[in-house]
Amino acid sequence: MVQQSRIRRLAAPIGIGALVAGLTMTGGIPAQAAPITTSFKTACLATPNTSLAGPEALVETGSVIVDAPASVNAGEEFDVTIQPGPIGFPRDVSIATISDVSRVKIDVDVPQNAELVSAEVVPFTSVGLSGVAPNVLRVDSNGNVDPNGSLLRLSGNNEVIGNGPSSSTTSTGGIRVVATGKDIDGNPTSNGYTYFQLPQVKARLKAGDSGTVELKLRTSGAAGNWNDNKNFLTFTAKLSAPLVGTVWAPTRCTPRNAANAGSPLNEGAGPLASVPIIEADRETTTTISGPDAAKIDAPVTLTANIDPAPSGGTVEFLDWGTPIGEADVVDGSASIEHAFDSEGDHSITAVFSGSDGFTGSTSGPKTINVSTDNVATSIAVESPDKAYVGQDVNLSAQVTPAVQGGTVEFVVDGQTLTAEVGSDGAAIAPYTFTSTGTHRVIARYSGTDGFLGSVSPAFPVSVTNAPPADVLTTTTLAPVGTVPNGSPVTLVATVDPANANGKVQFKLGNAPLGAPVDVVDGVATLPTTFLNAGTYSVTAEFVASAGFVDSASEPQELVVPEPPTTNPFGSLEGFGS
């Protein structure tokens, strides 16, 4: 029993505390944060290859020092060097002698939110090593070399005790340290310890677009299990003792406070350092909306829309390059009211200043024709040219130039229907044809302040009976109402019967809103945002698949308010110095 107890002690892990404490990350790169030291306990289990000695567990306090940039820019490359500190182990343990330690490997996660550009051993930075020259390999979770692997492994060409293609627990291999009883300067030590230095590893990373780059030891999945070959730190010690001969003690280590499988991983399994990525400014696109024509001295609204939508910054509006007003950006939009004082074409552009996280941008020009006389308009019917008896359709017309105000009268089959003209110049009225044949639709625009009325040519609509085997449908659009500028909203259309197959095309005036949307259980939805202030008509048109008949919803009014302004006095144009 005495001899067996001694063998257990001989087979205990060798220098584990030093191995763990020696794992250090440093980096001599500019703009470094102060080095971060994370202290934690590491629990290891050495399992001798002899039945005369049972497994021996040991818990040591170690630390990892990470010296990393305080932050990095998106897409920036930066270096991290891994430098384990000097490691020592005794030559004599009780009646046994340690001849060497070998197959040392340390695994570190390749960080998320970063691309591994390269990793290499720094030459002439190791002391006291023999065996296979140390190298750094990128490996997968099974320890196989993989250019897309999730791990960086410092080892002797992947010769380890397990979790690799060249594994053994009962032979010397990989990185080897022979017991010499000397320090790293080659001088004999008074206590018989042998000291060695693992090499520096230089890794170059390229930061991702956003998030945080976290540096972590390998502890996820099976690597976090107790006594697993995937543990972040593994090695083997070779010992010899009288009567027993050679004993191998493969050792596996994880960050735990207690040396048993029931103990959870501790803070050593968390981020040892976190490097925030400063996101690159997002590129923006600025567009401008407003009337196509205006009268002298009659105020019009000019609106700039910035995509993606920032909150902050300003927009300056220019007329042929001359500033005519400025407004704050709120939820991606900025508006001014402006009265032109000269006739002719005015080329208007909008310049977004940029804001935190967003680049500036300039819109393309919008031409507004300004005149003293009332502006002539034209109107065209844009209704569908085919329809079925008894099925709902929408009669629509477009006023050019697009100007809000006035009404459109649709004359069809001796009936007159009236619709308001929206900010986009569109007017829409629901209608149901009651007989087959060719029906002609005429639209009359009333005109409004500064704009003359107009009449469209007759527009023919061919009306037929729906195929008798097809199922008639109805489409209803949920009310839209007032939607704040730039705020998300979901349009909802319901098709009856609920088993109708087909798609719904949502429209803003006469313009499609995105692509057609599938109908699922009688419902089609479209998440969207509206940036242009004004009043509009929104419709939903059901485009049926075989066996069903098309239908259209009645128009719903959409009101998009002007974005708020921080200037309580409005425009100061016209005030002299």
- What is the per-residue pLDDT across 438-491, written as a single tens digit (0 to 9) for each? 999 999 999 988 889 999 999 999 999 999 999 999 999 999 999 988 788 999
Closest CA to 307 of 279, 331, 278: 331
Is the model's pLDDT at 267 over the cut of 60?
yes
pLDDT bucket at 373, cuts 50 / 70 / 90 = confident
Is the model's pLDDT at 286 over the cut of 80?
yes
Model pLDDT for residues 90-104, shown as the tens digit of each residue: 887 666 788 999 999
Q: Quick one: fold of 375-465? A: Immunoglobulin-like (2.60.40)
Check: CATH 2.60.40.10 for 468-563? yes
pLDDT value of residue 34:
55
For residues 130 and 471, what is the distance between their CA atoms, to the nearest angstrom?
Answer: 84
Residue ranges, CATH 2.60.40.10, the chain: 285-371, 375-465, 468-563
pLDDT value of residue 15:
39
Cα 331 to Cα 262, 266, 565: the distances in Å are 52, 44, 11
Is the model's pLDDT at 372 over the cut of 80?
yes
Model pLDDT for residues 397-414, shown as the tens digit of each residue: 999 888 778 999 999 988
The full DSSP string for 326-390 is EEE-BTTEEEEEE---S-EEEEEEEEE--BTTB--EEPPPEEEEEESSPBP-EEEE---SEEETT
Greater confidence, 236 or 405? 236
For residues 374 and 338, what is the distance between their CA atoms, to the nearest angstrom?
Answer: 18
Average predicted confidence (pLDDT) for the chain: 86
Model pLDDT for residues 68-81, shown as the tens digit of each residue: 888 999 999 998 87
As a whole number, mean pLDDT of residues 273-280 equals 88
Query: Please, what's the b/e burial string for 404-419 (b: 16 or more CB within 10 A of its CB; e: otherwise)?
Result: bbbebbbbbeeeebeb
Model pLDDT for residues 167-213, shown as the tens digit of each residue: 999 999 999 999 999 988 899 998 888 888 888 888 899 999 889 99
pLDDT value of residue 565:
52
pLDDT value of residue 94:
63
pLDDT bucket at 53, cuts 50 / 70 / 90 = low
Greater confidence, 383 or 101? 101
pLDDT value of residue 148:
95
Model pLDDT for residues 108-145, shown as the tens digit of each residue: 999 999 999 999 998 998 999 999 999 999 999 999 99
pLDDT value of residue 109:
94
Is the model's pLDDT at 426 over the cut of 80?
yes
Q: Quick one: fold of 285-371? A: Immunoglobulin-like (2.60.40)
For residue 289, the Cα-to-chain-centroid distance in whole angstroms is: 30
Do 318 and 349 meet the contact criterion of CB atoms below 8 Å apart? yes
As a whole number, mean pLDDT of residues 9-25 equals 37
130-134, 143-147, 327-331, 505-509: which range is least confident on average? 327-331
For residues 326 and 489, what is the distance between their CA atoms, to the nearest angstrom?
Answer: 28
pTM for this entry: 0.57
Do 85 and 276 meet the contact criterion of CB atoms below 8 Å apart? no
